[in-house]
Amino acid sequence: MNDDSGWSATLIASKTGQKMGSSPPLPIRCGPCEKFWRFFEFPFLSSSPGGHSPHPLLASNERPQKFSTGGPPALKLPAYILVCIPSENERVCLEVRNLHREFLRAGSDVMQAFTFYASDDKLINRGNEAGIKYTGSDINEAACRIAREVANEGDALVAGGISQTPSYLSGKGKKSVQDEFRKQVQVFVNNKVDFLICEYFEHIEEMEWAIEVCRETSLPIAATMCIGTEGDLHNVSVGECAVRMAKAGAHVVGLNCHFDPFGMLKAIAAMKKSLETAGLKPYLMTQPLGFHCPDNGKQGFIDLPEFPFALEPRVCTRWDMQRYAREAYELGVRYIGGCCGFESYHIRAVSEELAKERGKQPLSSQKHDPWGEGLKMHTKPWVRARARRSYWEDLQPSTGRPHSAAFSKPDNWGVTAGSDELKQQAESTTNEELQKMFAYNSKS
């Protein structure tokens, strides 16, 4: 999976003009959930054949690298707070920059512009006023500019991302859906991003349409679906989805969001097996949740009753993330990241676990001793006794919630593209419509 990739020379356009062997690996960012704009850590793999110097995204160097990618605006920062237009409050712009910087210091080598779900059809969906105040181009333009400013502070790469659309869910057809993608991709090309990401797709058909648009450019393409071991929402297996993404032209394939780190790795293993059977060798990418969700259903954590405002009891520890990073790496994944719920300390944990492979530590590790070793300075002897890896690695944390169950019951409404309930509209959801949904939810 990790060797001969067969990249064409058209993909070789290093931002620095240097061969990848002379510069360190890189990471990206993503995450669809309110205020969960967080970064990923992605290690890179082998170089292209024929002696070409590969694009930094596809570079060899065997060292793990990091990225920063943006998830669905509808679920992340409220009301597309990523928008930074000259007339907007400069404080918001500074907050967005500082969020990028936080993850840059944690080890992210690629800043993904905060453009998740920033398509024109999403900006006017169900009462959203962002599409009235700004266009998708305005938002994507500002997001690219901010991402590049911070990326240059650490000589990182910049990625632009597109995701599934309300137009697809509403059955508007291939042309309408691809028109939405094309408007976004054009902004990314104009802003000279280093590569493109198609992320958070529940249906392989729409993913193929997205990759097709991205292939109109000369940029490398990463493609991740938000599905699990049961496959996409039209019952295409996860293995077949991987094969179809690779055949469509994605250079990196994998999964993001909706599932926790260890559940996602099971699905990635199935993807890897199918790709090997088909004789395909794309790079593999993982961008799981920062939450434990072993009880979710086919649609992942969005079916859990705690989604999205009561997920905190499920947050993974930094030690969980070190385990996840190691297991992903040993599986052959070289783009190892995170999505909703990932905080900068999670990315630092991934970076520290793979420090040897990456050949470096993140800046934020300068004031952080690994595996709790800093506790040896604590005043209390029983706390000093915890200054060792074996203690934290074997710990089973308690929740402190005596009335909470270990598992929840997912809603499992079972609606997807083609269902009347998922047809989108510009008008706000009415009280009458809400009452129908409340009644349905109480029966399920």
Query: 35 is written with which tokens?
Result: 């205020």
d(C-alpha 394, C-alpha 18), whole Å: 43
Which residue stretches of 47-110 are H helix? 90-106
d(C-alpha 350, C-alpha 163), whole Å: 25
Contact predicate 174/205, CB 8 Å: no
**Can you say how many angstroms the Cα of residue 147 is from the centroid of all Cα atoms in its chain?**
16
d(C-alpha 159, C-alpha 121), whole Å: 22
Contact predicate 67/108, CB 8 Å: yes
Give the pLDDT confidence score for residue 56 in this predicted structure: 63
User: What values do phi and psi take at 24, rounded to 5?
Assistant: -75, 165
- pLDDT band at residue 419, thresholds of 50, 70 and 90? low
Indicate the average pLDDT of the chain: 80
Q: Which residue, chain included where needed, has tokens 């190892």?
A: 336
Cβ contacts of 332 within 8 Å, gap of 6 or more: 1, 2, 272, 284
Contact predicate 163/118, CB 8 Å: no
Contact predicate 6/48, CB 8 Å: yes
Average pLDDT over residues 189-214: 97
* Strand, coil or helix: 371: helix
User: What values do phi and psi take at 300, rounded to 5?
Assistant: 75, -155
Average pLDDT over residues 88-94: 65
Residue list for the binding site: 257, 339-340
Q: Residue 335: pLDDT above 70?
A: yes
d(C-alpha 389, C-alpha 349), whole Å: 13
Give the pLDDT confidence score for residue 91 in this predicted structure: 67
Q: Residue 49: pLDDT above 80?
A: no
Q: Residue 43: pLDDT above 50?
A: no
d(C-alpha 89, C-alpha 226), whole Å: 33
Give the pLDDT confidence score for residue 55 in this predicted structure: 64
Average pLDDT over residues 160-168: 95
Give the pLDDT confidence score for residue 238 in this predicted structure: 98
Average pLDDT over residues 60-65: 47
Higher-pLDDT residue of 422 and 189 is: 189
List, for residues 285-330, the tens digit of each pLDDT value. Answer: 999 999 999 999 999 999 999 999 999 999 999 999 999 999 999 9
Say which range, 93-107, 225-239, 309-323, has the weakest mean pLDDT.
93-107
Higher-pLDDT residue of 152 and 418 is: 152
Q: Within 13 Å, how many C-alpha atoms sit on residue 241's CB side?
A: 31
Percent of the chain with pLDDT over 90: 57
List, for residues 356-395, the tens digit of each pLDDT value. Answer: 999 999 999 988 888 899 999 999 999 999 999 999 999 9
Contact predicate 112/70, CB 8 Å: yes
Say which range, 72-81, 164-173, 218-227, 251-260, has the weakest mean pLDDT.
72-81
Residue list for the binding site for Zn(2+): 257, 339-340
